[in-house]
Structure 1
Amino acid sequence: MTSLLLIRNANVYSPEPVGVIDILIGGGKILAMGRDIAIAGQVHQTLNAEGMLVIPGLVDPLVHITGGGGEGGFHTRTRAMELTDASRFGVTTLVAALGTDAVSRSLEDLLAKAKGLTYDGLNVFCYTGSYAYPVVTLTGTITRDLMLIDQVIGIGEIAISDHRGSQLTVNELARVAAEARVGGMLSQKAGTVFVHVGDGRAGIAPLHHVAAQTDIPITQFYPTHMNRSQALLEQGFNFAKAGGVIDFTASTNQACLDSGEVAVVDAVMQALHAGVGIEHMSVSSDGHASLPIFNERGELTGLEMGRIASLYEAFCDLVAAKLPLTDAIKLVSTNAARNLKLSNKGYLGVGQDADLVLMSPDLAIDSVWSRGQALMRDGQPSRYGQFEMR
C-alpha cells in the first residue's frame, strides 16, 4: 500500500501563489491540493506546515556531476558531486554535462553517476557531447543518444567564442543543432543544444547566424554564462527578445566579478529593464565546474570550483532584491523545466512529481522532497549517498 504524506496549511507557490492549502503526496506524485483535504482511512504521516512556504524543487540546467576543470593540469580536476550537495539547497532536478575535458571525464561515467544519483533520490538528466566538435557521443550520433538513452535530453555544453572550444564553423554548429532537433522530435525530448558561451569577440553571433542561414529556429539553442560580461549580457537581450531563453551562471568569485562578470541579480534586473520577459531567463549553478581565471595571453592564473548551492543563494538574493517570489521561482525552477521539456518538473499541481521545498518565510530550507522521498527534514539531510561522508 502506498504511504501518504499530508502537508497541511502551507503557503503554496506553484510558482503562482495558490494560498494556504493542503498538499497530499503518494506514490511520488501530488495526489491532491486544496483546503481541508479529507482522507478516508489511515494517513501515513501528517505535517503541519502552518506559517511555512512550499515551492517547487529547484531545477538546475547545468551541473558537472562527475567533476570538471583540469585547465591547470590533472591536479586541478574538481571533485564529483554528492547527493547532499544538491539536496541541502533545494535542488531536486539537474542536468549533467561534461566540459573542457572529455578524455579523463567520459560520457559513460557521467551516465553511471546520473543513474546513481537518481537511485539516491534526485532527478538527473544528461547532455551528450562536451565542449568539443566533432561531438563525442555514447552510441555514435547525437540523434541515437537522444532516442536510445532515456537520461539524455540534449547536447551540451558545446563551446563557442572560447579559446577552449573547437572553433566550429556556423555550418558545423547547424549540423549539431539539426541532429539534436531530429533526435528530440523522434524521442519526444527537448533536443536542446546547451551552449557554453566564452568571452570571445563573436559572443552569441554564431547562434543568430545559424537561425538566419538555416531552417533551425533560435529556440533550439540554450546559451549559458550570459552574465559573463556586460557586452554578452546585452547580446542576450536581443536573443531573448527573438524568442530564446538565456541562462545566467550563479557560481562566481570576486576575481570573476572584478574582471567584468555581472552578478545574477544585476543581470536579471537589467534584462527586465530592457524589456526581456521573465519567462526568457533562467539561472544555473554550473556546480562542480572549475572557475578558471586566465590572463590576456590565455594562461591560467587561478582556479576555484562552482557550487550547486549558488542556485539557492541566487534565489534568496533575487527575493531580497524585491523580485516577486513567483518570478524568482521561475528563474531557478519553472523556466528551465519548461525549456528542457521536463513536463513534470518546475511547478506544483495534481499529477506532477512530488518535488517540493518547505521553507520558512525568510527562505531557510526546512524540508525537501524529490518524487515524494524526503531528502531533508527539519533542516538536516535525511538521505545520504552510499559513500558520502556524514
Structure 2
Amino acid sequence: MLTLIRGANLYTPVPQGKMDVLIAGGKVVDFQPLIKLDSNTEVKIIDAKGCILTPGFVDSLVHITGGGGEAGFASRTPEMNLTDASLYGITTVIAALGTDSSSRTLHNLIAKAKGLKELGLNVFCHTGSYHLPAKTLTGSVTNDLMYIEEFIGVGEVAISDHRSSQPTIQQLAELAAESKVAGMLSGKKGTISIHVGPIDSHLDILHQIDKNTDIALSQFYPTHMNRNKALLDAGIAFCQQGGSIDFTTSTTDYDLAHGEYAAARALAYCLDKGVDPSLLTMSSDGHASLPIFDDKFNLIGLEVGKESSLLHAFTQAVHEYGISIEHALMAVTSNPAQVLGINKGTLTLGGDADLLLLNEKTLVPQHVWSNGIHMVEDNKAIVKGAFE
C-alpha cells in the first residue's frame, strides 16, 4: 500500500518546512510541498497537520537480551520487547552485552536481534562485551564482523570502571586495529563502543592509544559521558581532538543527586561550550542493569534502563533546555548512525521509511513506521511481539 503523509513539518533532521511525504515498499519515494496522485491504487492518507515528521530514532546502546544483575542471579534484567522501542519512536537499536557475558551470550543476542528484525525493527549488534580478550561468536572479531551481518563493531568494552578487565593500552589498541580492518573488509565501520566508568582516569587510555599508535580517536565511541562534570569536560576535550561522545538517558535519582548530569542537560552544556553538534549523541542503555554504588563501590541499589528515556531526553532537550529540534534530533538520529557507519538516521529519497510523526507541541509519537511497516498508529502499538 502507498502511504501519503500530508502537510507535515519535515525534519531530515535538517528542517525542510511543510512537505508531503510518500512511502511505498518500505522506502521514501517522494517528498515535496504538494504531491498529487492520479491512480486507482489504494492510498492510505495521513493528515499530518500540527505534526512534525522526522527520521526514526537510532538508539546506539540497548541490552535487548537484558543485563547481568550485580546483585546475583535473581537480579538479571529482562529482555526488551518490540513495543519498548516502537512506542517511543525508536526504529533502530544497536544491541550489546555488558558486565555479564556468561549467562548473557552472543548466540542469544543474535537470535533476539533476528527475532526483532522479523517484526520490522532495525537491529545491529556489537560482538564482545565489557571484558578483554573479547568473546566472539565465530572465534575472532574479524570473522564476526565479516560473516555475521548484524555485527557492526565491538563492545561495550569497559574502561575506568572497577567492573572492567582493566585492559592495557596494547590490548585495546590491538582490538581496535582488528575491528577497523575487519570493518574495511566487510564494508562496516568497526566502531569500538566504550563503557566509561566513574574512575578518575576517564578517557586517558584512549588518548594514549591515539598518541602512540595509528588508531584515531574516532574509532572509539565512549558512552555514559554524563556521569559527572569532570568526565563531561573530558568528553569535550575528546570531541575537540576528533572524537564523538554519547550521553546515557537512563539514570537514577541517586546518581542525579550525586553529580550525574541528565543527558539533555549534558547535551545543552556541550553545545554551550561550542562543541560541534554532529559529535554528540544520546542513547538509552535500555534494559541494562543500573547498579548504584557508594564511594567504596558497595552495591546499594539496582534499577533497570528504559528505552523510553530516549524520547524523554529528546523532549527535555527541546522544552527545558531550549535546544533546537534539529540539534536534539541529530543526537538521536543522524549522529549515532554516522559514528557507527549505518545507513540510518536521515530521511532521504529512496531511503528506508523509518519515520516518526510527532505532535508538534508535545513531541509525542503519533505514528511510527520502521522499514515502511506501520508500527504505531494514533499513539497505540499496532505491531507487537508474539508474547506482548
TM-score by length of 2: 0.98
Aligned to 1:70: 69
CA-CA distance at 1:306 after TM superposition: 0.5
Aligned to 2:225: 226
* Cα deviation 1:141-189 (Å, max 9, x = unaligned): 1111110000000001000011111001000010110011001111111
* Correspondence list, 1:1-390, <5 A: 3-41=1-39, 42-320=41-319, 321-343=321-343, 345-362=344-361, 363-388=363-388
CA-CA distance at 1:201 after TM superposition: 2.1
Contact 2:265–2:317 (Cα < 8 Å) also in 1? no
CA distance in 2, matches of 1:248, 1:337: 15
Name the Cα RMSD after superposition: 0.9
CA-CA distance at 1:265 after TM superposition: 2.2
CA-CA distance at 1:337 after TM superposition: 0.8
CA-CA distance at 1:262 after TM superposition: 1.1
Contact 1:335–1:346 (Cα < 8 Å) also in 2? yes
* Cα deviation 1:76-115 (Å, max 9, x = unaligned): 1110000000001000001000000000000000000000
CA-CA distance at 1:69 after TM superposition: 3.0
The one-letter amino acid of 2:328's match is A
CA distance in 1, matches of 2:201, 2:384: 44
Contact 2:223–2:247 (Cα < 8 Å) also in 1? yes
CA distance in 1, matches of 2:273, 2:9: 32
Structure 1 window deviating more from structure 2 (84-93 vs 288-297): it is 288-297
CA distance in 2, matches of 1:360, 1:308: 19
* Cα deviation 1:251-278 (Å, max 9, x = unaligned): 0011011221111122112212222111
Q: 5+ unaligned residues in a row in structure 2: which ranges?
A: none
Residues 35/43 of structure 1: CA separation in 2 closer, same or farther (3 Å cut) = farther
Contact 2:189–2:341 (Cα < 8 Å) also in 1? yes
The one-letter amino acid of 2:263's match is V
* Cα deviation 1:45-103 (Å, max 9, x = unaligned): 11121221111100000000000031110011110000000001000001000000000
Contact 2:264–2:314 (Cα < 8 Å) also in 1? no
The one-letter amino acid of 1:93's match is T
The SS at the match of 1:348 is coil
The SS at the match of 1:168 is coil
CA distance in 2, matches of 1:81, 1:268: 26
CA distance in 2, matches of 1:107, 1:56: 29
The one-letter amino acid of 1:95's match is I
The one-letter amino acid of 1:374's match is H
The SS at the match of 1:235 is helix
CA distance in 2, matches of 1:365, 1:222: 28
The one-letter amino acid of 1:183's match is A
Contact 1:23–1:30 (Cα < 8 Å) also in 2? yes
CA-CA distance at 1:361 after TM superposition: 1.1
CA distance in 2, matches of 1:296, 1:335: 34
Contact 2:284–2:310 (Cα < 8 Å) also in 1? yes
- Structure 1 segments, 4+ long, off by >2 Å, are none
The one-letter amino acid of 2:29's match is L
CA distance in 2, matches of 1:241, 1:64: 30
The one-letter amino acid of 1:30's match is V
Q: 5+ unaligned residues in a row in structure 1: which ranges?
A: none
CA distance in 2, matches of 1:224, 1:210: 18
CA-CA distance at 1:328 after TM superposition: 0.6
Contact 1:6–1:43 (Cα < 8 Å) also in 2? no
CA-CA distance at 1:43 after TM superposition: 3.7
Contact 2:249–2:310 (Cα < 8 Å) also in 1? yes
CA distance in 1, matches of 2:27, 2:360: 25
* Cα deviation 1:17-53 (Å, max 9, x = unaligned): 1111111101110001112212342243111212211
Contact 2:337–2:345 (Cα < 8 Å) also in 1? yes
CA-CA distance at 1:304 after TM superposition: 0.2
* Cα deviation 1:325-347 (Å, max 9, x = unaligned): 1001001111001111112x111
Contact 1:97–1:157 (Cα < 8 Å) also in 2? yes
Number of aligned residue pairs: give it.
385
CA distance in 2, matches of 1:183, 1:33: 37
